[in-house]
Structure 1
Amino acid sequence: MYTIAICEDEIIWQDKIKEMLNDLQKKIKISLKIDTYTSGEELLKEDFNQYDILLLDIQMKGVSGVEIAKSIRKVNENIQIVFLTALESSWAEGYAVKAYRYLLKPIQIEEFHETMIGLIEAIKKNKNCIIIKSDGEIKRIQIAQIKYLAIEARKVIIHTWDETYKTTISLSEWNEKLKGFGFSNPHTSYLVNLKYVKHLDREKIILTDNEIIYVSQRKYKKFKEEFVNYIDNIK
Structure 2
Amino acid sequence: MKIAYCEDEKIQKEILEESLGRWGKTDLVWYESAEQMLFECDGRYPFDLIILDIQMKKQNGMELARRIRQTDAQVPILFLTAMKEYVFEGYEVKALRYLIKPVQDEALFAILDEIQSADQRYVLLNGSRINLNDLIYVEAEAHYCHLVFEDHRQKEKIGIRELKAMLDETFVMIHRSYLVNIAKVDQIRREDLSAGSFTLPIARSQLKIVNEAFIRYNKGTRL
TM-score with structure 1 setting the length: 0.58
User: Contact 1:156 / 1:169 at 8 angstroms: preserved in 2?
Assistant: no
What is the deviation of 1:120?
A: 2.0
Residues 98 and 62 from structure 1, CA distance in 2 versus in 1: closer, same or farther, beyond 3 angstroms? same
The answer as to 2:80 corresponding to 1:84 is yes
Count of residue pairs brought into register by the alignment:
164
2:165 pairs with 1:125: no
Deviation at 1:149, TM superposition (A): 4.5
State yes or no: 1:176 paired with 2:218. Answer: yes
Task: Give 1:173 shift.
Answer: 4.6
Cα gap change, 1:132 to 1:16, in 2 (>3 Å)? same
Is the radius of gyration larger for structure 1 or structure 2? 2
Superposed CA deviations along residues 171-213 of structure 1, whole A, max 9, x for unmatched, are: 97598379xxxxxxxxxxxxxxxxxxxxxxxxxxxxxxxxxxx
Q: Tell me whether 1:41 sits opposite 2:35 in the alignment.
A: yes
Contact kept in structure 1, 2:188 and 2:211, CA below 8 Å: no
* 3-state DSSP of counterpart to 1:125: coil
4+ residue runs over 2 A deviation: 124-131, 133-141, 148-159, 164-178
Partner Cα separation in structure 2 for residue 87 and residue 79 of structure 1 = 23
Q: Is the 8 A contact 1:131 1:138 kept in 2?
A: no
Distance 1:76 1:110, change over 3 A: same
Using the alignment, how far apart are the partners of 1:21 and 1:75 within structure 2?
27
How far apart, CA to CA, are the structure 1 residues paired with 2:219 and 2:97? 29
Classify 1:118/1:61 alpha carbon distance in 2 versus 1 (closer, same or farther; 3 Å): same
Aligned-residue Cα RMSD (Å) equals 3.5
TM-score (norm 2): 0.61
Alignment match of 1:58 (pick from 51, 54, 59): 54
Amino acid at match of 1:67: E
User: In structure 1, what is the equivalent of residue 3 of structure 2?
Assistant: 4
Identity %: 29
